[in-house]
Amino acid sequence: MSSLSRDLIDAALAADLSKNEYKVFLALFRQTLCYGKASDPLTLKRLADLTGIRKDRLAQAVQGVLAKGLFEATEHKIFDTLYAIGSSFLNEAKLPFFAPHLPMNGRRSQITETVSEKREALPESRVHTYTYLTPLTTTSFTTQPNRTKSEASGKIEACNKAAVVSGDLNSLPYPESFTSIERQQAARVLDGLHPELASDCLQLLKLSLQSGRVKSPLAYLNQLGKAARAGHLDRSLLAPPSSTPLPEAQVQRPAHTEQRYRLQTLAADIQALDRLQALAGCPMDVSTQTHRQALVSEFNVLKTELQEVQA
């Protein structure tokens, strides 16, 4: 492709094109070679938008480029004209036409993409993987791999339970006056909230509807959902649920989770330093040894605290 581009540009330089003809040449070069194609259908309006040339002067400039043999034009059944690279340039290349840096169905990032330039979007791959720490040494600061794996899986299950899934949305206490469409709209408003928070939002909406203080239920529910996500939902009108955990448990649980996460981070940092030393094949310098010792000390202190709490 590089030789084809070079030959085409050399021919354009030798053709002594006018200013408008150069614009037409660059526009056709952009729509073909720059997108890994040998031809591209364009309307006169699209070509005028690309070049900035008035339509009454554009036809003459296009004919000048075609007369020089740089590009060839044939009639297109949907768009006005199919512009292709001159057959003489493709025959001289004697190689299959391809663009190694750009897929043939590549998608442009501009929002103003026209119909002739749209491409099929490539499917996104969303693969979630979890990496578990494995001990590199037998010293006291390493963690048990089975325990780390179970803790990680426990966190994943807790996160899954904390979010409202589509199946749980159908079991929420919607107002009886809601139609099926309004239930779907309400489900989108509450999507992502904890089931208890979503239920409380609907209970507050029911109380407001009964008192006649709400004219737009979905708009009021949207405000309740925003307040719940920000942690400012006023649930004073609701009776406290019997399954609400004690305040001490609510305070201690995030602290323990944060300590476990810090413990895993320290273990990973220590293992990384040991691995770098093994790869380097030389002893650590003084500053690195000091830093490693500080990490080990903090790791042992946190490990002791967690063992005391669990005991």
| Per-residue model confidence as pLDDT tens digits over 44-73 | 899 999 999 998 999 999 999 999 899 999
Cβ(80)–Cβ(43) below 8 Å: yes
pLDDT band at 19 (very low <50, low <70, confident <90, very high): very high
pLDDT of residue 163: 47
Rounded CA separation 29/35 (Å): 9
pLDDT single digits (tens) 80-108: 899 999 888 887 655 555 444 444 554 55
What is the bridge-based pairing of β-strands 39-42 and 81-85? antiparallel
Q: How far is CA 44 from CA 54, 58, 110, 132, in A?
A: 10, 8, 20, 59
d(CA 37, CA 31): 8
- The span from the CA of 171 to the CA of 166, in Å, is 10
Task: Tell me what pLDDT residue 274 has.
Answer: 87
CA distance 70 to 22: 11
Sheet holding 81-85, edge to edge: 39-42, 81-85, 71-75
Query: How far is residue 293's CA from residue 271's CA, in Å, rounded to a whole number?
Result: 12
Q: What percent of the chain has pLDDT over 70?
A: 68
* Domain boundaries 2-117, CATH class: mainly alpha
pLDDT greater than 90 at residue 133 = no
**Predicted confidence band at 113 (pLDDT cuts at 50, 70, 90)?**
very low
Would you call 277 helix, strand, or coil by DSSP? helix
Give this prediction's pTM: 0.33
Quick one: how far is CA 194 from the chain centroid? 24
Distance CA 269, CA 267 (A): 5
Rounded to the nearest 10 degrees, what angle do helices 180-190 and 195-211 cross at?
130
- Rg, C-alpha atoms of the chain: 33
- The residue type found at 238 is L
Helix-, strand-, coil-residue percentages of the chain, each rounded to 5: 60, 5, 35
User: Count of residues for the chain?
Assistant: 311
Neighbours of 292 (CB within 10 A): 17
Q: How far is CA 271 from the centre of its chain?
A: 31
- For residue 198, give the DSSP letter: H
Q: How far apart are CA 96 and CA 272, in angstroms?
A: 49
Q: How far apart are CA 198 and CA 173, in angstroms?
A: 9
Nearest to 271 by CA among 74, 137, 101: 137
What is the rounded distance in angstroms from the CA atom of residue 281 to the CA atom of residue 283?
A: 7
Mean pLDDT of the chain: 75
Q: For the segment 229-282, what is each residue's pLDDT rounded down to a tens digit?
A: 888 888 777 765 545 555 544 444 555 778 888 888 888 888 888 888 888 888
As a whole number of angstroms, the distance between CA 131 and CA 268 comes to 11
Helices (H) and strands (E) in the chain, counts: 12, 3
The answer to whether the CB of 251 falls within 8 A of the CB of 219 is: no
